[in-house]
Amino acid sequence: MERQLLQRAKEAFVSGRARPLEFRLQQLHALQRMIMEKETEISTALKQDINRSQYDTPLLELIGIENEIKLAIEKLAQWAAPRPVEKNLFTISDEVYIQPEPLGVVLIIGAWNYPWALTLIPLVGAIAAGNAAVVKPSELSECSSLLLHTLLPRYLDKDLYPVVTGGVSETQQLLRLRFDHIFYTGGSTAGKLVMEAAARHLTPVTLELGGKSPCYIDKDCDVRTACRRVTWGKFVNCGQTCIAPDYILCEPCIQGQVVEFIRQTLLEFYGADPKCSPDYGRIINQQHFSRIMSLMEGYTPVVGGQSDSSQCYIAPTVLKDVPPHSRLMQEEIFGPVLPIVTVSDMEDAINFINEREKPLALYIFCSDQKAIKRMIEETTSGGVTVNDVMMHYTISSLPFGGVGQSGMGRYHGKHTFDQLSHQKACLIRSLKMERVNLARYPPQDRRRARRVRMALRSPLIDTSKRTLIWAVVATILGIGLFITLLVILLIAAGLNCTCWYWRGFYN
């Protein structure tokens, strides 16, 4: 079945119907209608999957999808237009530009923790770029997966954007097929398998993975506010967020404050018993429940620690004085457990971060601008948010993606469009003005070689500026071709040009 779906998608793409901007806009508007009209059904599915609050679903997923669609609709003509670039002297009279064009058929493999946003936001970019796309939602968020399979064909072109449900077997079958790009969101273990499968066909990939995103809290900042924001980011969606703060780094002198402020914030957010709170979620399944519980073995929580396997419930939990080389610090937690690791100062925190894999996100709570800049400059991460958590994800103008083990490629807004487009280099020349080319043709001599070198070494010229005007004026005045080129060069280079350039050009 997967092969047949792919073949239909390829045939639909080759037919060219996904290319016109009018069609792309039509599909984007249809997707927008789906989100608006089916918000209740989507919220219900997420309530069944991970006990997500009906109020959190718009905040955490649907508004973001709507914003991406609105931006794509508004900017599509601009994104898809040819992009003029600077020229050199040999191409000054030619048309030189970059033309974004569709890649073909994209495979989008979604994730279960935010099954709508992490599947549909890449789809928005695929549609905007003029591609076909095979959509594979995660089988772990079963209700959302089945609902997406039902809804998408009602709103979008069935051949260009088919949905494949199922588990590991179906995903493996898809990965055996040849796509033009694979966009995967999930864990690094599966990400390696996706990349290995893509390599067999030389298929480019975007891997949105994860990792252990550190959160440094400086002793001189507003620790209470910092802990309030960290608590929200860590425990929203029951800690199952790829850019959630994975652990806290702080000096020993404020560790007690951090614990107490988090305790107070949890009481405010979820009440005395988070299990009864309508705003607190659940772990996706028993397998992940058992994995998270095993990570806590041997520790005495200073906050939380309660659990109920029958409901896949783990209370918001804080562990302090966690050893840096413990198992808890070796793998992404992806759950409501927050370890605190103490460091002596910011330099120690920087070294701690740099000794480990590059994270998807880095969070810095600090009031000293110089210290903030130092930490940003001396560490590497997919993204950075200062004095808050996760909010960089909400800005469509920022590229979202990892680095190293936390992923490759980027998306959101125009970044998704560019990621799923081929940037075709275009040069359109005239068959006239053949004298321009004489210097590069054989037989060569010293004079011709000098002219070619000077032309090729010239700075790039932005023909939208006054340089082009001067070139036109020089041509009208009857100055020879090489003098015209020289005028362009001198204006582009500025007043620092010297007379040797004139002499060298003619000698």
Q: Which residues are catalytic?
A: 208, 242
Here the tokens at position 393 are 């994800």
Q: How many residues does the chain have?
A: 507
Amino acid code (one letter) for 148: L
What's phi and psi for 254, nearest 5 deg?
A: -115, 5
Residue 332 · residue 211 · CB < 8 Å: yes
Give SS3 for 410.
coil
Asked, as a colleague might, if the bond just before 443 is cis with ω within 30 of 0, I would say yes
Amino acid code (one letter) for 63: I
Q: What's the alpha-carbon Rg for the chain, to the nearest Å? A: 28
Q: State how far the alpha carbon of 133 is from the alpha carbons of 84, 120, 127, 149, 354, in Å.
A: 29, 11, 8, 14, 38
Q: State how far the alpha carbon of 102 is from the alpha carbons of 8, 16, 81, 171, 207, in Å.
A: 17, 10, 13, 24, 19
Euclidean distance between CA atoms 347 and 100, whole angstroms: 44
- One-letter-per-residue 3-state SS of 104-116: CEEEEECCCCCCC
Per DSSP, which regions of 320-467 are E strands? 337-342, 361-365, 383-386, 407-408, 421-428
Q: Could you please report the per-residue DSSP string of 186-226?
A: S-HHHHHHHHHHHHTTT--EEEE-----EEEE-TTS-HHHH
Residue 395 · residue 410 · CB < 8 Å: no
How far does CA 34 lie from the centroid of its chain? 24
Here the tokens at position 47 are 């309530």
Q: What does DSSP say about strands 181-185 and 205-208: parallel, antiparallel, or unpaired?
A: parallel
How far does CA 337 lie from the centroid of its chain? 26
Give SS3 for 94.
coil
